[in-house]
Structure 1
Amino acid sequence: MSPTTATNASNDKTPALLRRTLFHSKAPTIAAFLALLLATGLSWYMGVPVGLLKRPHTSYAPPTDDDYTLCEAKTPDHTTYRTLPGAQLVHIQVVTRHGDRTPAMAILPNEQADWRCDNAEEVTQLADSSTDASDAKDSEHAQRIGAYQRRVVVPKRPAYRNTVWSSGSCSLGQLTLKGVRQHKALGEQLRAIYVDHLKVLPERLNASTLSAQLYARSSDVQRTRQSAAALLTGLWPLKVRDPDARIIPLHVYPEEAETLWGHPNDCPRAASVVHAVRSSPEYEAYLERHAPLRTRLESLLGTSGIGKYERSFLRYLDPIYPRVCHDMPLPCGESGCVTRADAEELAHCVSEEYTILRGTHTHAAEYNRLTLGFFLGELRDRMMAAIHADAARHTDTAKQHTVQSPMFELFSAHDTTIYGLIGALKAKDMRWPPYASIATESAFDSDDARLLTS
């Protein structure tokens, strides 16, 4: 972190972050919000730290290190966590990718993988929390109607062989026990930082601290909901939750209005931008560079002529790389098998592909705005609400206990969410986000006449 001199210091108690970075803007733009993230220190844990807003994208050049793997992100460490000297942490936003999962997008022709999820089954409890059912305000004491355990049964019919795998106990994109453990460990690391080290989050949760300190949101997808639950269990284990805080509200949007991913089918301009990028000389050159790999995979897997495999390598990465993460045999065909080297080249290809789409292409900024602009706006608005609440507490003693904004906000999302975010922020490291990747945005309050930027 390096300091730069601020040019508009004032004597009021408004947080220096807001005063100096956004110049008292009442409705900051997305560009101003990116400046805000830069000023507050946006930390990325995708295997290596990422430099932000240093330069425009020019080409895909991944860093070379031994820590990066798609199978699991490097977690933050309280022993190396850096805060801003002389500043008080007032707000934390955490955006995560779900943990380890089964393939989600595609089943290869004649798929033979045997995915087992018996050890990570979901138990759902139904409750009536209406006022008629219970006078208690918390769902812990709501009237229980029943509970059920979700179990996946794969039908043994040849008609489904190119739709689901032929055996196992998992559905497409299901969180594995490994993924549950990844997010629980991530939550434990966040507890070490924010509860034990910085002491900005409560050690215990009760109804009061739960409503005042925490906001959690997830896409309405099983793997992200479960990842959020595992992370929050690591952050606040059940043994440190009072009975009225055992159940944590997890907010979801209807799928049709979800902002954690884009809706290109509902946005004609977004669809046309993707078409323009994938038809551009830059993208054609990328496909040409990796044509030998595509030819090899088509020969091995029988995917030649199948449209969804022709212009993107992501459809190959999705069913192949999860096998790497579980030390499972890689797919084979009559002429041989996919190798580990093929899988690593696939990971490189997908990172390069989406660097073009979200980073280097002239339409990248527009695509990021069209597909992730609403979510960036939500992050901005919630960050600004926290900053204004902190300012009110400093300037009006009457509002010290009435103006509140959650200290900690969790958004459990997907790889494309993280990737769109780092693309919008022009990150130097544009490698594909591993499982359990995390991006943290933090707001600090300081009257020091300096701006600290990463």
Structure 2
Amino acid sequence: MQRTLALLLAFACTALLLLREQRRFVLATRPGDSAALEAYCGAPPQGSEGNLTADGLKLVGVLVTIRHGDRSSIHSLPNTNTTARWVCRPVGSEQKQAAAQVAVVGLDGSPLYRPLLPRTLPGRHGDCAPGQLTPRGFAQHVALGRHLGRSFAPLLREAAAERRANSSRVGVYVRSTDYTRTQMSAAAFLYGLLPPTLRPPLAPPTRIHTCADEAAEVMHGVGLAASSKVGSEDGGGETERQGACALAGSLARAQQAAWRGDDGARDALGGLFGEEARAMPPTHVADALHSLSCHGMPRPCSQGGCVSAALAASFGRMGDSAYCAWCGNFGSSRSSRAISGKSSGDQGDLW
């Protein structure tokens, strides 16, 4: 059997399905507000990956599916009198090294020019543009890569030996969407994962395969596919299109139409920021609030007041429920429990 290390970095609903029992939206004012928030923002990687529980088995391949690390928000609430600020520059030496040790290529292997360091807002002294990987997000994936590098050290050593014996053998395959934050997350993960024998200068740069045609990217979904590309930027809005499978698209629309959120929370948000905010999808609202949590930034305010912890938590639960309903169709009973906040283990601001 061919022994390879297969590494797939996927950023789509499939990742959410794999993690559906984890709470994804963390909504609080400061990292010190709760132990749960602190653990979410800086949780050390842990687990028993790589341990074989039966004799006679040998690990010959690994498939890893991850999402990008901590990032600046893609969406923002209208009519606020506060400005959120994430700092992306200057970048550290490790991040520069990680970016230099990979090469982004098309699905056919042709080279693509993709500067992986985070984009910044013009004239804002290093402030992140929308949807950019933060220094915290980079560190998260380096730590995860190092953890898995220790777990899968024998397999990585074998891949390095095969590479030395046959320089044409590619032991690592990486697939990413065409976003700076996802490709830099992949580079950070590889920087932590791969031993020196599988990284430059002892080995060629690891190739990150991506689809340069956003409209043809199946990693966004084959039914309804969402994209946060706005012009040449990686954030600042979101569009939805029909993917390659018409049936999957019609089923997804039916799931969206059947889902019901918390109208009381929507009304409260509209009272603060107007009808445009009330009409925003709950996942967009949750993104605008969630991305503040690990950076000590206050929740948005208007002349009428500020988003309360309870309202933020409501949109966190709604966003979580909406993702589950739209991407997984886990059933109305679980969704209704999530919206009401009565599911087992409900921890207030952590959702």
Unaligned runs of 5+ in 1: 1-12, 14-43, 50-64, 129-144, 156-165, 364-428, 435-454
Partner Cα separation in structure 2 for residue 109 and residue 356 of structure 1: 29
Q: Does 1:275 align with 2:236?
A: no
Match of 2:61, SS?
Answer: strand
Partner Cα separation in structure 2 for residue 279 and residue 46 of structure 1: 21
Contact conserved, 1:183 with 1:234, CA < 8 A, in 2?
A: yes
Kindly tell me: are residues 211 and 321 of structure 1, through their superposed partners in 2, closer, same or farther at Cα, counting changes over 3 Å?
A: same
Alignment partner, residue 203 of structure 2: 245
Which amino acid is 1:249 matched to? R
Contact conserved, 1:47 with 1:69, CA < 8 A, in 2?
A: no
Q: Does 1:326 align with 2:304?
A: no
Match of 2:152, SS?
Answer: helix
Contact conserved, 1:104 with 1:318, CA < 8 A, in 2?
A: yes
Alignment partner, residue 84 of structure 2: 113
Alignment partner, residue 30 of structure 2: none
Q: CA deviation at 1:241?
A: 3.6
Contact conserved, 1:183 with 1:231, CA < 8 A, in 2?
A: yes
Q: CA deviation at 1:81?
A: 5.8
Alignment partner, residue 354 of structure 1: 323
Alignment partner, residue 257 of structure 1: 216
Bigger RCO of structures 1 and 2 (CA < 8 A, at least 6 apart): 1
Kindly tell me: are residues 231 and 152 of structure 1, through their superposed partners in 2, closer, same or farther at Cα, counting changes over 3 Å?
A: same
Partner Cα separation in structure 2 for residue 329 and residue 210 of structure 1: 52
Alignment partner, residue 122 of structure 2: 154
Contact conserved, 2:72 with 2:86, CA < 8 A, in 1?
A: yes
- Kindly indicate which of the two structures has a greater share of residues assigned to strand: 1
Kindly tell me: are residues 318 and 275 of structure 1, through their superposed partners in 2, closer, same or farther at Cα, counting changes over 3 Å?
A: same
Q: CA deviation at 1:358?
A: 2.9
Q: CA deviation at 1:90?
A: 1.7
Partner Cα separation in structure 2 for residue 209 and residue 299 of structure 1: 63
Q: Does 1:294 align with 2:266?
A: yes
Q: TM-score, normalised by structure 2?
A: 0.63
Aligned length: 269
Match of 1:95, SS?
Answer: coil
Q: Deviations over 1:384-421 (max 9, x none)?
A: xxxxxxxxxxxxxxxxxxxxxxxxxxxxxxxxxxxxxx
Alignment partner, residue 449 of structure 1: none
Partner Cα separation in structure 2 for residue 170 and residue 94 of structure 1: 28
Kindly tell me: are residues 108 and 202 of structure 1, through their superposed partners in 2, closer, same or farther at Cα, counting changes over 3 Å?
A: farther
Kindly tell me: are residues 66 and 324 of structure 1, through their superposed partners in 2, closer, same or farther at Cα, counting changes over 3 Å?
A: closer
Match of 2:272, SS?
Answer: helix
From 51, 57, 62, the counterpart of 1:92: 62
Q: CA deviation at 1:167?
A: 8.3
Which amino acid is 1:261 matched to? H
Partner Cα separation in structure 2 for residue 224 and residue 215 of structure 1: 15
Partner Cα separation in structure 2 for residue 114 and residue 169 of structure 1: 6
Q: Deviations over 1:52-109 (max 9, x none)?
A: xxxxxxxxxxxxx95897646663335x764231221121100100100001244543
Q: Does 1:200 align with 2:155?
A: yes
Q: CA deviation at 1:253?
A: 1.8
Q: Mark the structure with the bigger radius of gyration.
A: 1
Match of 2:253, SS?
Answer: helix
Alignment partner, residue 234 of structure 1: 192
Match of 2:62, SS?
Answer: strand
Kindly tell me: are residues 258 and 243 of structure 1, through their superposed partners in 2, closer, same or farther at Cα, counting changes over 3 Å?
A: same
Partner Cα separation in structure 2 for residue 154 and residue 308 of structure 1: 30
Which amino acid is 1:100 matched to? D
Unaligned runs of 5+ in 2: 2-17, 24-34, 104-112, 225-240, 333-344
Which amino acid is 2:271 matched to? S
RMSD: 4.2
Partner Cα separation in structure 2 for residue 47 and residue 169 of structure 1: 33
